[in-house]
C-alpha cells in the first residue's frame, strides 16, 4: 500500500475502520514490531498518531489501540507531552533488567532440574533446532522469539507460576533490548550453549545448570552495543508503505 504524499481524507479513515479494527491495529502492531526487531526502526524514534493515521489510512482510535498494545509490551514508551517513541532502554536500565533476570532464572533452574519432564526436555531440544534454522535463514525476529520461548519453557518446567509470570515480562524486555542493540547478524544466544544447558538439566546436574545459565545471560548482556548513534529514518519506507 503506497501512501502518496502521506495524506488521507476522513472518508478513507472511516472506510478502513469498517474493515475491522482488530485486523488493522494488528497490522500496525506487526509492522512496527518487525521494523524494530530487524533494527530498521532505531531506539528513540518518535511515532506520532497523525503520521501513523496518514501512513495506514486509519482513524486515531485504531492507531491509539496499536500504540497502547506496543507500550504494554515495552516496544514503545509513552512520554508526557512527547507522544510515543521506540523504547530506548538506558545502559543502567538494561543492567537492572538483566540482573533481575539472572536472579529469577538462578532460582528457577534448580526447580526445572527437579521437575522437567521428558516431553519438556524434548520440546527444548526442538526449540534449539528451530532457533538454528531461523538464524541461518535470516529470520531474525523468529530467532529472537524462539530464544525467549526457550527460557520461558525452562521456567514452566520448574512448576512455579508466579516466578514464570515475572520472567515472562523480563524476557519480553530483554528480547526487545537484544533486537535493538545486538549487532546485525551476530548471535547473542549460541545454540550450543542452549544445548549444553538442556544436557545439564536432563542429567540432573543442578550446579552446572545454574552456573551455565548465569554465564549465558552475562554473555548476552556483554554483547550488546548500547551506545551506538542512531540514524534518522524514513518511517513510511521502513514500514513498507512506500
163-202 residue pLDDT tens: 999 999 898 888 888 877 877 655 555 558 999 999 999 9
List b or e across 62-101, with b for residues whose CB sees 16 or more CB atoms inside 10 angstroms.
Answer: bbebbbebbeebbbbbeeeeebbebbebeeeebeebbebb
- Domain boundary among the residues 88, 111, 126 is at 88
CA angle, residues 118, 154, 100, in degrees to nearest 5: 165
212 with 97, same domain?
A: yes
Whole-model pTM?
0.71
User: Any residues with CB less than 8 A from the CB of 43 and at least 6 apart, and which?
Assistant: 86, 87, 88, 89, 180, 181, 230
Residue 217: domain span: 91-222
68 with 175, same domain?
A: no
pLDDT for the residue 202: 97
55 with 113, same domain?
A: no
Tell whether the model's pLDDT for residue 15 goes beyond 60. Answer: no
15 with 78, same domain?
A: yes
Kindly state whether residue 235 falls inside one of the protein's structural domains.
no
Of residues 136 and 242, the one with the higher pLDDT is 136
20 with 115, same domain?
A: no
Kindly state whether residue 233 falls inside one of the protein's structural domains.
no
Mean pLDDT of the chain: 83
Terminal Cα-to-Cα distance of the chain (whole angstroms): 7
Tell whether the model's pLDDT for residue 97 goes beyond 90. Answer: yes
pLDDT for the residue 12: 43
CATH number at residue 47: 1.10.10.10
- Other C-beta atoms closer than 10 Å to the C-beta of 148 total 19
CA distance 187 to 169: 22
Mean pLDDT, range 84-89, rounded to an integer: 89
The conformation of residue 158, written as its DSSP 8-state character, comes to T
How many domains does the chain contain in total? 2
pLDDT for the residue 182: 76
C-alpha torsion sign, points 142, 148, 152, 155: positive
138 with 213, same domain?
A: yes
73 with 98, same domain?
A: no
pLDDT for the residue 30: 85
Mean pLDDT, range 68-90, rounded to an integer: 87
pLDDT tens string 117-147: 999 999 999 999 999 999 889 887 788 889 8
Of residues 126 and 39, the one with the higher pLDDT is 126
Amino acid at each position: 500500500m503506497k501512501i502518496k504524499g502521506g495524506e488521507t481524507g476522513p472518508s478513507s479513515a472511516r472506510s478502513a475502520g469498517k474493515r475491522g479494527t482488530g485486523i488493522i491495529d494488528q497490522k500496525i502492531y506487526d509492522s512496527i514490531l518487525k521494523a524494530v526487531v530487524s533494527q530498521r526502526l532505531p531506539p528513540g524514534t518518535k511515532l506520532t498518531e497523525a503520521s501513523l493515521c496518514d501512513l495506514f489510512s486509519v482513524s486515531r482510535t485504531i492507531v491509539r489501540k496499536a500504540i497502547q498494545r506496543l507500550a504494554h509490551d515495552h516496544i514503545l514508551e509513552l512520554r508526557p507531552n512527547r507522544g510515543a517513541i521506540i523504547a530506548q532502554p538506558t545502559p543502567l536500565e538494561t543492567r537492572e533488567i538483566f540482573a533481575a533476570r539472572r536472579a529469577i532464572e538462578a532460582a528457577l533452574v534448580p526447580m526445572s532440574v527437579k521437575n522437567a519432564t521428558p516431553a519438556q526436555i524434548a520440546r527444548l531440544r526442538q526449540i534449539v533446532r528451530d532457533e538454528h534454522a531461523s538464524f541461518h535463514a535470516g529470520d531474525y525476529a523468529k530467532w529472537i522469539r524462539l530464544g525467549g520461548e526457550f527460557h520461558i519453557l525452562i521456567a514452566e518446567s520448574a512448576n512455579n507460576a508466579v516466578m514464570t509470570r515475572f520472567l515472562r515480562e523480563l524476557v519480553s524486555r530483554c528480547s526487545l533490548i537484544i533486537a535493538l542493540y545486538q549487532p546485525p547478524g551476530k548471535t547473542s544466544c549460541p545454540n550450543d550453549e542452549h544445548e549444553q544447558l538442556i544436557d545439564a538439566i536432563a542429567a540432573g546436574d543442578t550446579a552446572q545448570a545454574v552456573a551455565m545459565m548465569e554465564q549465558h545471560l552475562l554473555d548476552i548482556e556483554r554483547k550488546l552495543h548500547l551506545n551506538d548513534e542512531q540514524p534518522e529514518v524514513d518511517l513510511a519506507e521502513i514500514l513498507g508503505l512506500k
